């Protein structure tokens, strides 16, 4: 929690977006002041501020739909809030319903959860405004109008920059590929570019994708990026395993040149310019590949195991460098908006979004979460009870402007322990800082309306720019902005400070107490996430070793790779939530075991990278019965590991080593196994190592749990 106060995340919101949002928030209030209609301007400003949070990257069609939904739901929330505000029992019941629905929306993702939260806040604020019920439709319409204005500003560039989101998404992928070429990631870490590649897939193949000839080129570039990614990861791993200095130097030169090509392609893609600099850099890439081939030819012909290993690995490296050269040339050609499909199959250009990434039916998703084991339902019940209790108490105690209490409780309460504690601490600290800033600024600028508007615009701009960088900084800016906003309604800054401090402290304390009374710990869900990850890796390995890949049908690889990527993202998120929980005794040991298991799972999937890259060259796998036997045994072993994780028992996994040795001998006996045979033998050897390690970790964990059980029983008896 202390670290979260000083850690700053990378900024994701461009300055132009923050400026656009700020103008849309401040302009209605400025117009309202100019025409002496301050309440109307305030209402539109509230609507624009609420909808601003859904102005997120993505296709223009999706952005418009998302923001229109947020604007309409905010207007409806305001209408309901004004109507139920005068009746305390009805208000408390409505707060409970909004809290429950908003909490349940976490099952649909962060955007839906954010809309549910902001609508709950809008409902509570409008309920406290004491507006006559007859004026409710007008206020709701003004809030809706503010949201519509924000939406219009967000999509105004659609006709002029139709493909800007697609270009920027692919530029991000290219930049991260360049980082991969430079850093050469640790094999125990997850393969990089996962989230950026997933976002690009959603953008190009998702439900709200753009349509047009240029999109075909974007899809070609995305597929080429995936090929480049596999080649870069393979070369990076080989760089860490090869010991021959001349070969290492040649691989370094290839990777460094690839980094420069990719960086220049990213710049050209982002700025919609011809990739002339990338083309110039790529022209010399063939000479670097030839230098690698010459370095390999200079290896000794000795028959020692180390020399044989160096020759085998250097041959795989050369094949990957040659493939990378071809992929980079294709990227340069297709980045200049060419619609030629070249090396890419037509069915991939028209491919649908992989099944693992397709959004499910929202109603079915919500229905599936209507059980107490669901984190979404537990969060919904906590939110409903906590926020309604806060609303009832502030009404019964008649606390002036006490709506800050349930509002803060709704904001702080999160589905997980780490999120709740972190948001609670950051909100309290940010609010106190923001109140000091806002009060000082308001006192200095109370006599000048133009000055207050300018300061509010500055605070809104900084808030939008930095709220994702550091939540405490964002809350400080938002709090100061709200102090200024309330001053236009006639609420003195000193009064805003007092009610804001009281509401923040009480609301945060209530949220933390609610979570402490009924927590949701991450341990069990992390185990299930790891089991899902192993199952996804199992399916992908089966696709790599199976007949589909061997015969050039890459549909299965396309689907299973995306499913593995989605499962890996979920597992990493679960482990991050586990890290945020209290680490005492067994919890600390459990976290260490989970991180070790995850690292070895990453090694498992990396073992197939060189093999999958080779299959992309359409060389195919040797047709051997030993390969089928090994693939079947590996599939069974991973299935047993996944089942053992779900059932929390030690796995019974026979060693894969005998099958791997038989396959290795069969490959050695083939006169024309070639690079495919070498890559296959290397991949299977590494798969066996990873599977054996995963099984060992599970058995060790089960043994530790068995040893701890008598001690726990004895302690309970003494207690």
Q: Is the pLDDT of residue 713 over 50?
A: no
User: Which DSSP string corresponds to 23-63?
Assistant: HHHHHHHHHHHHTT-HHHHHHHHHHHHHHHTT--SS-HHHH
Q: Is the pLDDT of residue 647 over 50?
A: yes
What is the per-residue pLDDT for 626?
Answer: 87
pLDDT average, residue stretch 447-465: 85
Which of the given ranges, 40-44, 353-357, 549-553, 663-667, has the highest pLDDT on average?
40-44
pLDDT band at 339 (very low <50, low <70, confident <90, very high): very low
Q: Is the pLDDT of residue 715 over 50?
A: no
What is the per-residue pLDDT for 419?
Answer: 76
pLDDT band at 207 (very low <50, low <70, confident <90, very high): low
Query: Which positions ≥6 away from 477 have C-beta within 8 Å?
Result: 434, 459, 460, 462, 463, 466, 467
What is the per-residue pLDDT for 26?
Answer: 93
Q: Is the pLDDT of residue 710 over 60?
A: no
pLDDT average, residue stretch 492-496: 63
- Plot region of 212 (φ>0 → left; ψ -120 to 50 → alpha; else → beta): left
Compute CA 286 distance to the chain's CA centroid, rounded to the nearest angstrom.
Answer: 36
Q: Is the pLDDT of residue 428 over 60?
A: yes
Contact 618, 343 (CB under 8 A): no
What is the per-residue pLDDT for 348?
Answer: 44
Q: Considering only CA atoms, which of 147, 184, 182 is closest in space to residue 68? A: 147
Structural domains present in the chain: 2-159+374-517 (no CATH), 164-357 (1.20.58), 523-708 (1.20.58)
pLDDT band at 70 (very low <50, low <70, confident <90, very high): very high
Distance CA 690, CA 704 (A): 21
pLDDT in tens, 24-52: 999 999 999 999 898 899 999 999 998 99
Q: Is the pLDDT of residue 696 over 80?
A: yes
Query: Which positions ≥6 away from 646 have C-beta within 8 Å?
Result: 527, 528, 531
pLDDT in tens, 128-176: 888 888 999 999 999 999 999 999 998 887 766 667 777 888 888 888 8
What is the per-residue pLDDT for 14?
Answer: 83
Q: Considering only CA atoms, which of 82, 78, 30, 33 is closest in space to residue 51? A: 78
What is the per-residue pLDDT for 4?
Answer: 60
pLDDT average, residue stretch 694-716: 64
Q: Is the pLDDT of residue 635 over 50?
A: yes
Distance CA 153, CA 21 (A): 8
Q: Considering only CA atoms, which of 634, 612, 614, 624 is closest in space to residue 665? A: 624
Distance CA 643, CA 651 (A): 8
Lowest average pLDDT, out of 156-160, 354-358, 610-614, goes to 354-358
Would you say how long the chain is, in residues? Answer: 719
More confident residue, 401 or 244: 244
Q: Is the pLDDT of residue 708 over 80?
A: no
- Between the alpha carbon of residue 567 and those of residues 170, 403, 538, 543, the distances in Å are 22, 40, 12, 16
Q: Is the pLDDT of residue 385 over 70?
A: yes
Lowest average pLDDT, out of 15-29, 171-185, 241-255, goes to 171-185
pLDDT in tens, 618-630: 556 777 888 889 9
pLDDT band at 53 (very low <50, low <70, confident <90, very high): confident
pLDDT above 90: percentage of residues in the chain: 17
pLDDT in tens, 258-301: 999 999 998 888 887 888 888 888 888 889 989 988 888 877 76
Q: Considering only CA atoms, which of 415, 246, 258, 421 is closest in space to residue 324? A: 258
């Amino acid at each position: 929690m202390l670290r979260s106060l000083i850690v700053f995340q990378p900024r994701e919101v461009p300055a132009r977006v923050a400026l656009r949002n700020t103008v849309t928030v401040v302009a209605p209030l400025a117009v309202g002041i100019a025409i002496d209609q301050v309440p109307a301007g305030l209402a539109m400003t509230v609507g624009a501020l609420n909808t601003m949070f859904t102005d997120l990257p993505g296709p223009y069609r999706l952005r418009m739909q998302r923001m229109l939904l947020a604007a309409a739901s905010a207007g409806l929330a305001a209408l309901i809030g004004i109507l139920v505000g005068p009746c305390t029992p009805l208000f408390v019941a409505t707060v409970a319903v909004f809290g429950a629905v908003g909490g349940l929306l976490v099952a649909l993702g962060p955007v839906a959860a954010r809309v549910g939260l902001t609508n709950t806040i809008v409902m509570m604020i409008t309920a406290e405004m004491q507006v006559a019920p007859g004026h409710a439709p007008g206020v709701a319409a003004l809030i809706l109008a503010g949201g519509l204005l924000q939406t219009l500003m967000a999509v105004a560039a659609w006709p002029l920059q139709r493909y800007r989101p697609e270009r920027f998404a692919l530029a991000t992928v290219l930049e991260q590929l360049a980082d991969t070429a430079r850093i050469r990631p640790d094999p125990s870490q997850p393969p990089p570019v996962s989230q950026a590649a997933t976002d690009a897939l959603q953008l190009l193949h998702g439900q709200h994708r753009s349509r047009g000839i240029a999109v075909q080129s974007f899809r070609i570039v995305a597929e080429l990026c995936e090929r480049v990614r596999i080649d870069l990861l393979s070369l990076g791993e080989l760089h860490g395993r090869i010991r021959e200095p001349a070969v290492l130097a040649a691989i370094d030169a290839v990777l460094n040149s690839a980094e420069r090509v990719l960086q220049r392609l990213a710049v050209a893609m982002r700025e919609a310019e011809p990739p002339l600099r990338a083309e110039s850099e790529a022209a010399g890439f063939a000479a670097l590949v030839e230098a690698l081939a010459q370095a390999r030819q200079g290896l000794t012909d000795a028959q020692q195991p180390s020399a044989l290993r160096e020759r085998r690995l250097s041959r795989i490296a050369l094949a990957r460098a040659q493939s990378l050269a071809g992929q980079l040339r294709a990227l340069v050609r297709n980045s200049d908006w060419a619609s030629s499909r070249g090396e890419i199959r037509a069915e991939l250009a028209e491919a649908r979004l992989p099944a693992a990434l397709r959004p499910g039916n929202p109603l079915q998703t919500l229905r599936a979460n209507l059980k107490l084991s669901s984190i979404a339902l537990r969060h919904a019940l906590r939110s409903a009870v906590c926020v309604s209790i806060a609303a009832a108490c502030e009404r019964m105690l008649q606390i002036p402007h006490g709506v800050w209490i349930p509002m803060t409780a709704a904001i702080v309460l999160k589905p997980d322990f780490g999120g709740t504690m972190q948001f609670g601490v950051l909100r309290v600290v940010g609010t106190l800082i923001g109140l000091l800033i806002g009060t000082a600024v308001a006192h200095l600028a109370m006599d000048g309306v133009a000055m207050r508007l300018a300061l509010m615009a500055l605070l809104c701009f900084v808030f939008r720019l930095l709220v994702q960088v550091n939540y405490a900084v964002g809350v400080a800016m938002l709090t100061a902005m709200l102090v200024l906003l309330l001053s236009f309604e006639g609420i003195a800054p000193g009064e805003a400070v007092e009610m804001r401090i009281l509401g923040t402290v009480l609301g945060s304390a209530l949220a933390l107490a609610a979570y402490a009374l009924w927590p949701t710990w991450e341990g069990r869900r992390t185990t299930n996430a790891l089991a899902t990850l192993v199952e996804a890796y199992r399916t992908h390995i089966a696709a790599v070793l199976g007949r589909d890949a061997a015969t050039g049908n890459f549909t299965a690889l396309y689907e299973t790779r995306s499913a593995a990527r989605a499962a890996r993202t979920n597992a990493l998120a679960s482990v991050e939530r586990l890290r945020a929980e209290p680490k005492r005794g067994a919890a600390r040991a459990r976290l260490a075991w989970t991180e070790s298991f995850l690292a070895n799972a990453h090694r498992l999937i990396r073992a197939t990278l060189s093999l999958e890259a080779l299959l992309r060259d359409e060389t195919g796998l040797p047709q051997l019965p030993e390969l089928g036997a090994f693939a079947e045994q590996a599939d069974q072993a991973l299935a047993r590991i996944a089942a053992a994780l779900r059932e929390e028992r030690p796995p019974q996994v026979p060693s894969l080593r005998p099958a791997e040795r038989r396959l290795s001998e069969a490959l050695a006996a083939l006169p024309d196994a070639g690079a495919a045979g070498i890559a296959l033998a290397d991949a299977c050897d590494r798969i066996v190592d990873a599977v054996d390690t995963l099984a060992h970790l599970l058995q060790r964990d089960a043994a530790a749990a068995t040893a701890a059980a008598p001690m726990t029983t004895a302690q309970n008896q003494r207690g």
